Each structure stands twice: as structure tokens, then as C-alpha cells.
Structure 1
């Protein structure tokens, strides 16, 4: 609403400025054309420059939108035309008020100085034309100039305050938008925390209890009996689902980012993978780590989590590496494994790959998967970094750093 009102004010102000220019120019014409001895040539010498000035104003101010910020070519051309007109006939002296009207509302000192110059010019014109200046006429000129200076300064002050108020409204709107985004992010994180707690307190605890009961039941059965084998299969399934529910909790609640930055959080993920599976998993950081917005780091961490989960569940890899390369204006992340691989063209993308691609697209980055049967898989991600990188992560070391696989 405030933006619309500001736009309406600017539009009406521009229309008033155009009307003021036309009115002053039109009122100056009768005085310039007055006189019994006015010939056609003399009339054309007055009408021609006036029409040219009007066309010059219409092109630079009305058509090209220079009412708000008048360009320098308009000022040079308009003042030159006014000087010619005032030389031909002093009746065109007041046209300077119209010529400089785009500047009255922007510069109060210009307004005052212009009015004083015009008053002095009118007095000089009267002196040179009549040989003397009437006291009453001079007094009227001084009073008129003072009133004009006061009015233009007052209008310029109002316009300045209007622009100042508009800037404050713009800042308030931007602040409200940032606050709304922060509240949405906080709400999303809170909902993820709630879901993580629910999954942990229900599914995770339930699978853990089932695994314990099946383990106890297996001990009561004869070894190598059909029932014992079925219980063993059920116990493995319960344990697999227990591990999956725990990974889901970690995905919903990226706790590492609550304590540190992206590079250290990724190190913790690869260390956990190495500890839980015995796979050689490590993290490499190159360049000077730059801090990203928390929401961006959270999305990137979830992409790395999903890629590591795929390597853990499907690739049967012996080695997994995550490389974070800070390249000045771009962060490149490569998750590579030496597992079974697959043919990306022949395989329909699953939910995990689709979700990762959507997350990176929302960050205005690029996402690619390179794989071939028997040759492992590489997930390549790039996202833009801030133009002026923040202070480097104190927990990260410049150059190349590698974390050895956990025992």
C-alpha cells in the first residue's frame, strides 16, 4: 500500500511539473508577441525558439523520464535555448523558472538561487529598458522573489522528507521480509526437530526393542533350526531398519551445524560412516573455507548425507571421499565412491537423486552424477559463494586436509 501511494505521488508530481512548464511558457508568449509593430518574422523568431524549447523538454523530461533525475544534456540545451529567447525578448526571462523546474524539488539551494537570479534579471531588464526602476515595482519584485524562494524551499523540503520516508518504508519492508524468512526457517527447523524426536521415540525405539526380543528368542531355539534361521533373518531386518531410522533422524536434525560449520560437519559424517561400516571414508578441504548462510549449509549437508547414504546402501564401496573445494566465488563438492556404479541413462532417477537435484537448484547451483557399472559413482555439486567471503572457518585449515578413516 505504501509503495503504491509513493508511486501515485511521483506520478502526480511529474504531471504537475509538466503542467507548470507549459503554463509558464504559454503565459510568457503574449508578452513577447505584444506590440503593434510586431511583424511575421519577429513573431516567428519568438514562437520558433519557444516551440523548440517545448520539444526539448518533452523529449528529455516527459518521454525519457527525466522528471526525477534530469540529465545534463537537457540542462545545457534548455538553458542555451532560454538564453536565446531572453536575448530576443526579455519577456521570456520567467521561462527560466520552467526550464529549471525539474531541479526545484531536488535542490532547495538551487531553488533559492534561481529565484534570486531571476529577480535580479527582471530588475536589470527594467533598468535597461526604462532607464530607471520604480520603487513600487522593485518592492513587488523583492517580495515576489522572497515568496517564491520560500515556496520552492518548502516544496523541496517536503519532497526531501517524502523520499526519506520512502527509504524508511523500503528498509522496513526489507526488514519485515527478512524477519518473515527467518521465522519460516525457524518454523521449518522446529518441525524437523519435532519429527526427529517422534521418529526417535517411536520407530527407533520400537526397532531396538524388536531386535532385543528376537535376539532373546533366538537363544531359546535350537541352533541351525528353521525357526532360528527365520528369527535371524527377522533380527537382521529389524537392525537394518533401526539403522535406517537413525539415519533419518540425523537427516532431519543436522546437529553438526548447531556446533560448527559445513566443513567440520562433513568430516563428522565421513568419520561416522567409517566407524559404523568399516569403509575407508574421509574428507578433503581445499582453498579457504568461507561461511555460508545457515540455511544454505544445512541444504548442502543434507545433500552430502543423502549421497553418503546411497554409497552405504547401494554401492558396496570400499572407499568413499568427500572433497570441498572453495574456489573464490564457487564451492564445489564432490562425493566419490569406488562401488558397483550404475548406468545413469538406463536407470530411472530415484527419490534421493531427485531431492538432491532440487535442493541444489533452489541454491542456484549445479548438480551432476557421473557413474558407470563397476567404476563407482561421483556426485558433483557447485554452489555460488558470497562475493566477499566471510572470515574463514577457524576449524578448517587452508590447503588440503584429509581425515583418516576411523578404526
Structure 2
């Protein structure tokens, strides 16, 4: 069996995180999403992988090549020329599919138990998971354990309670993959892989439906999902692991991972679970609170408090800052005294602009999403739910209450 990872999507809903990286390269507790998928397949004996790329193809191809070299597996990358849906992505890879294939969407966090279950069955199937917001996904219609069709993003009035949705995981034979050619373009101009389900059912070759628990699966499609994904992985940290340097006056509570070359300076207080990656510098006098990930070679300096946040590689929060429930992308530099608020006065869930709509995150505590290479001046303040595009510059003393576009320059409060 081989694994096919559909990783060509642009990830518009995940901006500004995807301003500078494709969504399969988003970091989840020290590893990218696509790296975790390849490793999960490897642990179940899969040695050949096909990765369909698109947005930032060269960057993604290089990354999966490095993962392949480390694991000693074969990874072939195939570029999707234009973003025309998951069906088109699989069709792009069809010439590279010569055996039964585990097909997986490239923006999923999946427990090993799911891959193990699917691989062991070795039968054509589609995986479903019960979800409280089925209108955001494709709903599986089944009959006697067989998938009849998938209804994409049904009207909320038509679905009640937890409903079985398409988890984006299939097992397909090479012949089934070739049937993708029969799919007609959807009204939005895409080839939807989910239409294959109905085609196979009509031909008497319906896919078996396998249901998994929602705790085993997560779709990373919105900015705050990055926080939840990291939390899910970090909270499984079994014990304290210290491979770096920790000065004597540091206090560590609970399970904490400190990678090689990392340094935690004096009078820092860390409450696990926390993951501090290789080469990171923390402290002195820093306060790192649960469910925080600090990336490779990142700096969290003097009198900085970081709570339940994700700090990507090379980011710098050097001194006198508060970062709560936020995503700080690579090479960001927060000026001294930068504060990211994470709580509304009215105590209501924080709303975020996503693809032109302001939607509720469902989270009462939510900070900001700061794209790669952003710089903030001293004493700047960023309010809950704000997104700042990559390469933006925020001047000193500015209060940011609205989103900032890619490369934007903000000289006065907005």
C-alpha cells in the first residue's frame, strides 16, 4: 500500500499563517502537518508516498524530500497546475498510483490509531467522523455500511446534532482512482473527489464506511485550529524531557520538553505541558504557561509571559511582552512592551475575519495571528482576534483593533 497526500491547497482561510508557507507545513508541536502524516504511514509499514503540491510547490517539495531522506522512504511529488479541487489533485497523481492507496487530505491531524485501523482493513473505504458543525464539511449518506454519496456543505437547517462527515481519508484501488475522470465540474469550477463516492456506488462498487472518534481526527482549516492542534499534541507529553540547558534557578512544573541546544535562563517559571524546540532561548524571568510551543531558535526573553500560544521558528519576543492564545509566525520581531490581548470586555467568544466573513471562533480566550516577518514597535497593543499579514510593520505605541494586510504599514491606531 502507498499513501497519497493531497497537499496542493492554498489555505486562504488560514491566512496570515499561510502567507509564507503552504498549510501542510504548518507546525504542530515541533513537526509539520505533512511530516506527521508521512511518519504515521511509515509506522504502519508504508514506504512509498505521493505528495500532490500546488501553492508554494518548491518549498513543500524540498521539505517532504528532507523528511523522506530522514526516514529512508520514497516520496514522489506531483504538482497540481491549478487549484481545481481535491478530485483534480488526485487525478494529477493518477499516473503515479499503481497499487492500493491510502488517500489523505494534507491538512489533517490524525492519530496513529486511525492509520493503523485503515491500513489493517485493506479494503476500499471512506472514513467518517461525527461532527457538531456538519454544514462546514461533506456529510456522508450511507446505507447498510456503504457510502451512497457525500453532500458537500449542506444547509444548516437540513442537519441536526452530530452528523457523520467525510474525514478526508480514503482507501482506493488504481482503477477507482481512474474513475475520477468521470467527475463533472462543480458549480464553483472544481472537481470534487467526494463525487467519486456516488459514481462508485452506482456501479455497485460502493466504499465501506469506517467511523472514527472525533478525538482521533482534526481538520486544520481556520487560524485558531492551529492552537487546538498544538494543544492536542502537547497535552500528550508523557513526562519531563530536558535535552538542552536549564539554569539552576528555573522552576519547571509538569511535563515539559526542552530540545537540544535550547537554553532556559534564570528565574524562568514553566508550567507544563510545554514544548520548547531545539535552539530556543527562554528567559531570564520568563513565564511560560500550559499548552505553549516555542519553535526552533525562537527567543522568549526577559519578563515575557506566553500562554497557550504557538511561536514559530526564529520569532523573537525579547522583553516585557504578553502573548496569550496567539500564533506568532516565523521571524516575527515583537518590540519591547508589545501586548497581545486575548479577552473581550463583554466576555463573549472572539470573532475573526475569515475569507470576507466575520465568524465566531467559539473561544472566549483568543489573541492574535501574526504572519511571518512582522515587526512591531515598542508599546504596541494588539486586540483579540486581529490578523496581521506577513511583512507588516506596526509603529510604536499603536493600538491595532483591525486586521492588517500583507506588507501593511500601520503608523497610528486603527
TM-score (norm. length: structure 1): 0.21
More helix by share: 1
More strand by share: 2
TM-score (norm. length: structure 2): 0.21
**Which structure has the larger Rg over C-alpha atoms?**
1
